[in-house]
Amino acid sequence: MDHRQVGRLMNTEVVKARSGTSFREVVNLLGRHRKTGLPVVDADGKVLGVISETDLMFRQAAQDILQNRWYNRRRLTGSARAARARKRGLRAGELMTSPPVTIGPHQSVTEAARLMVTGKLDRLPVVDAEGRLCGLVTRTDLLKVFLRPDEEIREELVTEVLVRTLALRPGAIGVSVRAGVVTLSGRLRRSSEVPLALRLAGRIDGVVAVIDELEYEHDDTAEQQGEQTVRDRAQEWLRRI
């Protein structure tokens, strides 16, 4: 299930700008490549920020405000002066949003989605350990995960989860996948295996939901609680040493 990493989904052919790229050339890049935003990098390929259509429109919309003499003469705070400088900007480095929100190629798709939702972002530059650009991942890229064929999902679930992880024989329980919805049915040996099987099935790329129709032969809830109590007491004893 290592293909859940961002590096497996990212685009490696990234349209990018340099700090000194002009306003007009940024507009040309966005239009020519049908993009709504792109990363800005320095001479070493390190990501400095991200510039989008919103940033460009922000500058244009602010032009009439900048003509206001009172606005230009009044005493401004540091943040206000920075905002005014951005509105006057003619280069990508002056117009971009910085610092950029980035992600590493080995981080999970879930982490990327969380960053995008939290920051209300449409794209994330993917950077290496030194902060150099190595790709770009978009919301559309993340959603491609849910386009996996049902049979491919089922094969991974049986091979990786049931056989390799839970040590069950193939066919030990029923597995069906329809439109990304997994249904697990049949009987497992222990009750503790049921939530584990459901949780692992839900982590597979392309799974939309998991329906639980599982039963179990032996309820080992008390045993699990007893083992956890022993572990907790052992940890407490070790902390006192």
Global pTM reads 0.65
> How far, in Å, are 18, 58, 99, 203 from residue 15 at the CA level?
11, 21, 19, 32
**Does 241 fall in a domain?**
no
Clarify whether residues 93 and 188 are in a common domain: no
Q: What is the β-pairing status of strands 181-190 and 37-41?
A: unpaired
Query: Cα separation of 195 and 180, whole Å?
Result: 19
Statement to judge: residues 122 and 173 lie in one domain: no
27 in a domain, yes or no? yes
Residue 233 lies in a domain: no
Distance CA 61, CA 144 (A): 35
Pair (40, 137) in one structural domain = yes
The answer on 68 and 171 residing in a single domain is: no
Could you tell me if residue 230 is inside a domain?
A: no
Last residue of a domain, one of 144, 167, 182: 144
Q: DSSP class of residue 11? A: B
Instruction: Evaluate whether 135 touches 123 at the Cβ level (below 8 Å).
Output: no
H and E: helices and strands count for the chain = 11, 8
> What is d(CA 10, CA 182) in angstroms, rounded to the nearest whole number?
26
Of the three residues 117, 144, 171, the one that is the final residue of a domain is 144
pLDDT in tens, 19-65: 999 999 999 999 999 999 999 999 999 999 999 988 888 766 655 55
* Structural domain count, the chain: 2
Same domain, residue pair 211 and 109:
no
State the residue range of the domain holding 103: 2-144
Q: Are residues 120 and 39 in the same domain?
A: yes
Query: Is 70 found in the same domain as 114?
Result: yes
CA pair distance 74, 202, nearest whole angstrom? 57
pLDDT tops 70 at residue 75:
no
Query: Is residue 198 domain-resident?
Result: yes
| Average pLDDT score, the chain | 84
For 12-131, strand residue ranges (E) read: 17-18, 37-41, 47-52, 123-127
Residue pair 26/130 in contact by the 8 Å Cβ criterion: no
Amino acid at 87: K
Q: Which backbone phi and psi does 43 adopt, to 5 degrees?
A: -65, -25
Q: Does pLDDT of 141 surpass 80?
A: yes
**Are 20 and 125 members of one domain?**
yes
Same domain, 135 and 158: no
113 within 8 A of 138, measured Cβ to Cβ: no
94-126 confidence digits (pLDDT tens):
899 999 999 999 998 889 999 999 999 999 999
Q: Which of 35-39, 75-79, 218-222, 233-237 has the lowest mean pLDDT?
A: 75-79
Q: CATH code at 118?
A: 3.10.580.10
Distances in whole angstroms, Cα of residue 154 to Cα of each of 122, 143, 183, 213: 31, 19, 10, 16
Only one residue has tokens 């990212």, namely 10
Asked whether the beta carbons of 132 and 45 are under 8 A apart, the reply is yes
In a domain, 33, yes or no: yes
Evaluate whether residue 238 is within a structural domain: no
| CA-to-CA separations, 69 to 9, 66, 72, 74, in angstroms, rounded | 50, 8, 5, 9
The verdict on 129 and 165 lying in the same domain is no
Question: Among residues 144, 173, 203, which one ends one of the domains?
Answer: 144
Tell me the C-alpha distance between 29 and 37, whole Å: 9
- Indicate whether 6 pLDDT > 50: yes
- Partners of 21 in the β-ladder: none
**Token digits of residue 197:** 């099987």
Contact 47, 131 (CB under 8 A): yes
Which CATH number does the domain housing residue 169 bear?
A: 3.30.1340.30
**Together in a domain, 78 and 46:** yes
Same domain flag for 139 and 161: no
Residue 88 has pLDDT above 60, yes or no: no
